[in-house]
Amino acid sequence: MTGPRGYHHGDLRRTLLAAAVEAITEAGPAALSLRDLARRAGVSHAAPAHHFGDKAGLLTALAVEGFDLLAAALRGAGDLLDAGVAYVRFAVGHRAHFEVMFRPELYRHDDPEVAAARERAGAALRAGVAALPRDATAPDQDSDALAAWSIVHGFATLWLAGALPPRTGPDPEAAARTVIRRLFD
């Protein structure tokens, strides 16, 4: 495909998703526009619509990519503590994805690809919880998974918002490790 300036993209879809990550990182998902993405990619203003239909379609693709990246990060972690730190590392390293993934009003949350990718990420988190020692008095595994997710997601959200106290320190992974260890006390 050749754009208005004669620039050829080998993978325009990938280029547009990368431009979306850049734009969201700069100004957040609300400021994202397909026209700006076209400008950033050096293609006609119709090119993003050809690939994604509309802004919701683009953000749907970004959410799918984000959930798959998160699933891979969680699968690569060791125990539940490491999975929690991997979650925070993902949020900090893939902020644009993170900002879209958990805002279902921005994208087509009922899209089958989103549902499948969300399930892959959830399964990876639940696998870390399943490795915890269990006893007859322990709450069910789903409650444990929700508790673990709530803690790491809350921490990641607070970190990204700059809402944690200065004594938390400059390293999100070290700070997260300290907080997540509280799950095991």
Mean pLDDT lowest for which of 1-5, 40-44, 133-137? 1-5
Taking phi over 0 as left and psi of -120 to 50 as alpha, with beta for the rest, 6 belongs to left
Which residues on adjacent β-strands are paired with residue 2? 8
pLDDT band at 60 (very low <50, low <70, confident <90, very high): very high
Greater model confidence, 8 or 107: 107
Whether the per-residue pLDDT at 129 is higher than 90: the answer is: no
CATH fold for the domain made of 54-182: Tetracycline Repressor; domain 2 (1.10.357)
Structural domain spans, the chain:
1-53, 54-182
Tell me the torsion sign for CA atoms 160, 163, 166, 167.
Answer: negative
pLDDT exceeds cutoff 80 at 80: yes
H/E stretch holding 147: helix 141-161
Q: Which CATH number fits the domain 1-53, given the four candidates 1.10.10, 3.30.530, 1.10.3470, 3.30.160? A: 1.10.10
Q: How far apart are the first and last CA of the chain?
A: 57
Task: Please check whether residue 73 is in contact with residue 125, taking contact to mean a CB–CB distance below 8 angstroms.
Answer: no
Phi–psi pair at 133, nearest 5 degrees: -65, 140
Q: What is the arithmetic mean of pLDDT over 161-174? A: 96
Confidence of residue 138 (pLDDT cuts 50, 70, 90): low
C-alpha span between 69 and 86 (Å, rounded) = 11
More confident residue, 134 or 88: 88
- Token pair belonging to 49: 């619509």
